[in-house]
């Protein structure tokens, strides 16, 4: 008999009243739960109670309280890894919330591809094995004017593949002002190191000239194999600054037989959205190869898209690392459907694009309709002008003029916490004295759900006064 059993066998033990696992599992509230989940939760809760009683002198909880703890643990464990949330932050490409919401056409394509088998690597004409990305490659060529394209699972992977396949064991010249952190604490020098490339840093943080690149190219021994430009899509340097002209850098690369690559980051195919350069515009300057994300300004699924010169893309596709980074059928289906919207001039159907284009005049009536449904005139709820953001490190200086429901008079962090526990959860934006709920980033059919969640949350923190 081990120590725990001896203690429990002693009727004077503080653990004597602790129920057995079998007794707990026979409780009516637990009988309908999946037995493996209930069994594990019961064992873990009992073990936690034993530790507290023996180690801290705590008392044994009532059976009802233990049952509630088991139910709560099972409920947490049954939550899906990816659950629906209502994004009321006004940040369209919210990295923590999955960035770009897929367009309806892309959603339908993913659902269709998930039903069963699909033509992932089958040439339906010859009946032989085909190229996984052939259709997507052709769409990207037409949309960007590039000679060829390849796609991997995110843009960090795209940069890693480029540096590994094109510069492993060699050096690449880069401006000191572009040694950026690209998100999730991943930094360009670290990605280069992982790819086996050496970075030759030139210029200063705020001012780098083509002459700095030329000096590094002409004086390095052995010479570099390429030039790397990293677009500062998630921050800006202003004031006394200078950046090398892309066309001049491309001419320098051509003169010395080097390649010029650019990590564009967020990527953009629609010039009317922003003053950010489009992928086509960058290629037109002579840049040889460009990488960008699929789930940022493009409005599609997570992907790292690389377009450019055919011989360079061929080297990427043939590198063993490419297979480890390639897309699965669901991402391919979503990306293809997204690109088709661009080809067919149906970009207004891209959910993220529609959200970024929304104007305060479009959003204000939605705010008032939500407030009418909440119906709490006793609380400080009002519609106020705010600025939304593109998010995901894209367009850091571009405010999206918007309006939001501002809730004051209650601790913003407490209200935010209650809304996060709603079903579906609601994520708002906290200011110093208010919680802001911006409908820009809600789908139109989610307004009623936000109103219901807000009404219940307000009742939890500030119950409605009784009617006279």
User: Residue 393: is its pLDDT beyond 70?
Assistant: no
pTM for this one? 0.87
Q: Which fold has domain 104-349?
A: 3.40.640
User: Residue 410: is its pLDDT beyond 60?
Assistant: yes
User: Residue 58: is its pLDDT beyond 70?
Assistant: yes
Q: How confident is the model at residue 467 (pLDDT cuts 50, 70, 90)?
A: very low
User: Residue 90: is its pLDDT beyond 90?
Assistant: yes
**pLDDT single digits (tens) 346-376:** 999 999 999 999 999 999 999 999 999 999 9
Q: How confident is the model at residue 231 (pLDDT cuts 50, 70, 90)?
A: confident
Q: How confident is the model at residue 468 (pLDDT cuts 50, 70, 90)?
A: very low
User: Residue 421: is its pLDDT beyond 60?
Assistant: yes
pLDDT given at position 255: 96
Q: How confident is the model at residue 56 (pLDDT cuts 50, 70, 90)?
A: confident
Q: Where are the domains of the chain?
A: 3-77, 85-94+355-461, 104-349
User: Residue 9: is its pLDDT beyond 60?
Assistant: no
For the chain, the average pLDDT equals 90
For a pLDDT cut of 90, what percent of the chain falls above it?
71
pLDDT given at position 212: 93
pLDDT given at position 124: 84
User: Residue 309: is its pLDDT beyond 90?
Assistant: yes
**pLDDT single digits (tens) 253-272:** 999 999 999 998 888 898 87
**pLDDT single digits (tens) 185-212:** 678 888 888 899 999 999 888 888 999 9
What is the arithmetic mean of pLDDT over 400-426? 95
Q: How far apart are CA 323 and CA 122, in angstroms?
A: 17
Name 380's bridge partners.
408
Give the β-pairing of 85-87 and 289-293: unpaired
Q: Which CATH number fits domain 85-94+355-461: 3.90.1150.110, 2.40.30.10, 4.10.95.10, 1.10.3720.10?
A: 3.90.1150.110
pLDDT given at position 235: 61
Q: How far apart are CA 426 and CA 374, in angstroms?
A: 15
For a pLDDT cut of 70, what percent of the chain falls above it?
93
pLDDT given at position 105: 97
pLDDT given at position 236: 64
Q: How confident is the model at residue 282 (pLDDT cuts 50, 70, 90)?
A: very high
pLDDT given at position 363: 96
């Amino acid at each position: 008999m081990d120590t725990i059993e001896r203690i429990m066998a002693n009727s004077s033990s503080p653990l004597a009243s602790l129920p057995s696992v079998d007794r707990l599992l026979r409780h009516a509230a637990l009988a309908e739960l999946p037995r493996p989940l209930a069994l594990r939760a019961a064992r873990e809760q009992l073990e936690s109670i034993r530790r507290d009683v023996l180690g801290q002198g705590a008392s044994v909880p009532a059976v009802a309280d233990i049952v509630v703890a088991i139910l709560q643990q099972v409920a947490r464990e049954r939550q899906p890894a990816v659950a629906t949330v209502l994004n009321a932050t006004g940040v369209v490409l919210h990295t923590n919330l999955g960035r770009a919401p897929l367009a309806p056409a892309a959603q339908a394509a993913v659902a269709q591809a998930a039903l069963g088998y699909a033509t992932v690597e089958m040439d339906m004409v010859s009946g032989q094995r085909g190229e996984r990305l052939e259709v997507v490659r052709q769409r990207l060529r037409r949309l960007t004017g590039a000679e060829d394209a390849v796609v991997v699972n995110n843009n960090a992977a795209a940069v890693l593949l480029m540096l590994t396949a094109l510069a492993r064991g060699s050096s690449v010249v880069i401006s000191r002002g572009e040694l950026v952190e690209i998100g999730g604490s991943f930094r360009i020098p670290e990605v280069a190191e992982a790819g086996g490339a050496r970075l030759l840093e030139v210029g200063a943080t705020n001012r780098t000239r083509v002459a700095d690149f030329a000096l590094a190219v002409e004086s390095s021994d052995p010479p570099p194999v390429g030039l790397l430009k990293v677009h500062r899509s998630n921050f800006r340097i202003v004031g006394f600054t200078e950046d090398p002209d892309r066309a001049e850098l491309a001419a320098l690369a051509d003169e010395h037989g080097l390649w010029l690559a650019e990590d564009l980051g967020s990527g953009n195919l629609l010039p009317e959205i922003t003053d950010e350069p489009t992928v086509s515009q960058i290629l037109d300057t002579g840049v040889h190869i460009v990488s960008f994300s699929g789930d940022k300004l493009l409005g599609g699924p997570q992907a790292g898209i690389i377009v450019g010169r055919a011989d360079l893309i061929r080297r990427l596709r043939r590198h063993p690392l490419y297979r480890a980074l390639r897309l699965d059928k669901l991402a391919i289906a979503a990306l293809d459907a997204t690109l088709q919207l661009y080809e067919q001039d149906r970009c207004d159907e891209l959910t993220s694009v529609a959200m970024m284009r929304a104007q305060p005049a479009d959003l204000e009536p939605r705010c008032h309709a939500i407030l009418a449904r909440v119906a709490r005139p006793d609380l400080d709820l009002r519609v106020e002008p705010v600025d939304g953001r593109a998010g995901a490190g894209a367009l850091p200086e571009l405010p999206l003029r918007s309006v939001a429901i501002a809730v004051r008079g209650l601790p913003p962090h407490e209200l935010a916490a209650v809304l996060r526990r709603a079903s579906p959860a609601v994520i708002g934006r906290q200011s110093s004295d208010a919680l802001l709920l911006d409908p820009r980033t809600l789908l139109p059919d989610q307004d009623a759900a936000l109103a219901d969640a807000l009404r219940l949350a307000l009742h939890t923190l500030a119950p409605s006064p009784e009617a006279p």
